[in-house]
Structures are given as structure tokens and as C-alpha cells.
Amino acid sequence: MAGGLPGQAQNPPPLGRVIDYGCGSGILAIGAALFGAKSIDAVDIDAAALQATEANAQANGVVLRVGEPAMACGPYDTVVANILATPLKLLAPLLCSLVAPGGHLVLAGILERQADELKAAYAAHCDLQVAQTREGWALMTARF
């Protein structure tokens, strides 16, 4: 989501242990590192995304553990994902299972008109809510 990170940066919760699920370029994982996360895992199914994440982490002077989704080993204090709504719906049980008690789930890459679909997909697992909207995009969060 364009502008998602700066909006959250105004008053970020303690990040603790973080996973960026579907890391792409690694921007959310890098942002978490720059905001003081203890440790960060960045996972993706795309080998090119993993290479880009590693290169971007190095360029920004941060340490990330980068790999395929199988390396995800919760619980995490903060689970972030900036991917399309359909994969986010399918990943609801998995993503929620990775969040530690008292932790946060942060989802981006969601069009405002898709927010209700995401709320419904996550309803059995958490109380997902729209935290912020900007230029037609929604940032959604839940606390566990």
C-alpha cells in the first residue's frame, strides 16, 4: 500500500519479532528493522523476490532472515503482509496462527472496496479492522 509504512510510523507499536509474509522487495521487513524490531523473517514463494529482499536489506544496512514460507516459525509479535486480497483471504488461518498472544497482524495491498471481504475471511480468527485508508487503499490490523 502506498503510504502504509509512513502512516504506521507516526506511532508504531513495539515490533518485537516480525515476519513479512510475501516480502516482495522487502520494504516492510526493512522498515521493521529500521523501527527496532528484534528479529525479522522475510518470506516469499518467488526466488526473485527473495534475491531483491536480500539486496535491499544489504543496501539499507539491516539484517533479515530471508527464505521460503516453510521457514516461518511463529509465534511472531508482528505479522505483516502486503499482498493481494485473494491470497490474503486464503492465508487467513496461516497468518493468524503465526501471531503471538498480544501480537499484531498488519495487512496491506487491499483496495478499500475489498475490506469487508477480508473482514469476513478473518472473522473466525480475529477482529480485523480498517486502521487507515489512503487513495483507495486500506491498511487493516488486528490485535491478538
**How far is the CA of 16 from the CAs of 84, 100, 114, in angstroms?**
25, 10, 29
Instruction: Domains for the chain: give ranges and CATH numbers.
Output: 17-143 (3.40.50.150)
Q: Using the predicted structure, report yes or no on whether residue 130 has a pLDDT greater than 90.
A: yes
What is the pTM assigned to this prediction?
0.90
H or E segment and range at residue 11: none
H or E segment and range at residue 25: none
pLDDT given for residue 15 in this prediction: 81
Contact, 119 vs 125, CB < 8 A? Answer: no
Contact, 45 vs 69, CB < 8 A? Answer: yes
Contact, 43 vs 53, CB < 8 A? Answer: no
Residue keyed to cell 496462527: 97
Candidates 27, 71, 24; CA nearest to 49 is 24
Q: What is the mean pLDDT of the chain?
A: 92
pLDDT given for residue 12 in this prediction: 59
Amino acid residing at 131? A
Q: Using the predicted structure, report yes or no on whether residue 84 has a pLDDT greater than 50.
A: yes
Q: Using the predicted structure, report yes or no on whether residue 3 has a pLDDT greater than 50.
A: no
Least confident of 13-17, 52-56, 125-129: 13-17
Q: Tell me the per-residue pLDDT of 4-41, one tens digit each, with 9 for 90 and over.
A: 444 444 565 668 999 999 999 999 999 999 999 999 99
Report the relative pairing of strands 137-143 and 129-134 from DSSP bridges: antiparallel
